[in-house]
Structures are given as C-alpha cells and as structure tokens.
Amino acid sequence: MPCFESPVDGARLHFVDHGPATGQVAVFVNSSYLGTEMWEYQMLPLAEAGYRCVGFDRRGHGRSDDVWGGFDLDSLADDVDGLLRHLDLREVTLVGHSVGAAEVVRCLTRHGSGRVSRVVLVAGMTPGLVRSADHPEGVDPALVETGNETFRRDRAAFFEDGARAFLALDLPGNELSDAYVRSLINRCLGSTARAGTALGDLVLTLDVAPELAKIDLPVLVVHGTHDVSAPLELTGRRAAQLLPDSTLKVYENAGHGLFATHREQLTADLREFMSGS
C-alpha cells in the first residue's frame, strides 16, 4: 500500500496515483471524514483521459495512520505539501473540497506556488463559515458548537441524519441510489472519532480570508445553490470575490456533495479548467 511520511510527525499517509505518469497532474484534497474514494467519479474518468490523478487520505482518515495530533490547519497543509514533494509533482492543479479547500489555500500561502499552476475550490469552507468581527454575516458559532456536540454524542446518527441534506437529495436532478448513500455514510464512519472532532473544532476558528488575496494563480470556485454545510453566499461567492483571479461556477440545486450528484458536470469543468480554455 503506497504511503508517504508526514513532514509534521512521520505519520504514514496513504496515497493513490492514477493515470499515466507523464499526464497533467491533478491532486485532490478530501472533505472531512472521507478518503480518496470520494473522488471516484472525477479521478477515474480523468485518469482514463490521460491525466495523472493523485490523492491521499488525511491523517485519521481512510487508510492513513490513526494519530492524535496534527489537525491544526498548518499541519494539515504541511501534509499536502509533503505529498507534492514526495512525488516531486510539478504544474499541479490542486483540487480541494470543503475543509480540504482551506488546506489547499494554507498550503499555497505557507509553502508557495512553485509546484502548483491552478487551484479548484469545490464546495469550500473558505474563507470561513463562522461569524467574527471581520465576517459579521457568518454563522453563529453556537450553532457550529451544537453540531460538534451532536457529533461527539453519536457520530453514526450525525452522518445518517445529515446525508440527505449533504447531497440535497430532495431536489430535482440529485438522484442517487440508497446503496451509494449508505456507502458514503460507511466511508465517513471509517474516519476516526478523534479526526472528526478535531476538524469540527477547526471549522469554528477557520478564517483564510486574508490569504485568498495572496493567491496569484487562476482559481476555479465551484459551489452549489443549496449547500447547507457551506452556504454559497458565506463561502463560495465570498471566496470568488476575494481571490485576484477567480471564476465562479454555481451548480443549480447542488448541495455539499456535488462531487456525486453533479459528477459529470464537475469532471467536465475540471477538465476544461485544466486545459486552460
């Protein structure tokens, strides 16, 4: 099983590397709770089309080491950079979903863009979700704390109860099989309780707004109209406004899990963006 050692603490982090070694590189950074399997509808067709698709399981997720520490944003970003360096990847398109989008942003502002040429923020939690002095329209932190407490009390129910809203299954065009939804819940349960709790706490303080203005690369921002985890106006649209060179694509009726419900649209948009057209 291919792994690399985290530059933070030596934790063994599992990665996948699909497609031709000479192909244009896309590196995928996952949502909270999920491993690289979440990107199956993007990585497989892109790899078959000649792209090199790389991803890794965040610490405490999937097949990576179950560790206690390293869930601060700097450490998580260092793990992303560690993968790029381990495989000596160049001219990368960095693709991050949800909290993974914040890891992508911090990786760039912390380590520079020498290995990266383009960025995609998919249903990102960026710039930040929670109300603050600089973001008075944000979500009441007490609501996030309540959700985090629900997770601590019964994370199985947390995933089960939240799946329909996560995928916006009650809206037209978002048909997924019960089997797929069940598999997604099971994948979420594959992350450790420690990892999930730590990332929930991270969302409470997440604020990368000042960093977005420093990203001197083309950025594609993809967001759904019905994302209840990261509402469009608080995250995707705000991120696009703060980025110097961004394109915002809004998916009608899409929720946070648009990588599944809008799989073909997302894959096509990734391919178009990576082609530079």
pTM of the model: 0.98
Q: Decide if 227 is catalytic.
A: yes
| 267 contacts: CB under 8 Å, gap ≥ 6 | 41, 42, 45, 46
Burial class (CB in 10 A: 0-12, 13-18, 19+), 104: buried
Pairing of strands 52-56, 116-122: unpaired
Amino acid identity at 238: R
Identify whether 74 is a catalytic site residue: no
Active-site residue (options: 65, 79, 227, 269):
227
Q: Taking each helix axis as running N to C, give the angle between helix 40-48 and helix 263-275, from 0 to 180 degrees, rounded to the nearest 10.
A: 50
- From the list 6, 32, 64, 98, the catalytic residue is 98
Other Cβ atoms within 10 Å of 20 Cβ, number: 10
Query: What gap in Å lies between CA 231 and CA 153, rounded to an integer?
Result: 25
Amino acid 133: pLDDT: 85
Q: What is the SS3 assignment for 15?
A: strand
The conformational region for residue 10 under phi > 0 = left, psi -120 to 50 = alpha, else beta, is left
Helix ranges restricted to H, the chain: 40-48, 73-86, 99-111, 141-153, 155-167, 178-189, 193-205, 209-212, 236-242, 258-261, 263-275
Q: What is the pLDDT of residue 134?
A: 85
pLDDT score of 277: 58
256 carries an active-site annotation: yes
Q: Are the C-beta atoms of residues 219 and 120 closer than 8 Å to each other?
A: yes
The residue length of the chain stands at 277
Which of the residues 86, 226, 256, 262 is marked catalytic? 256
- Give every residue of the chain whose pLDDT is below 50, as ranges: none
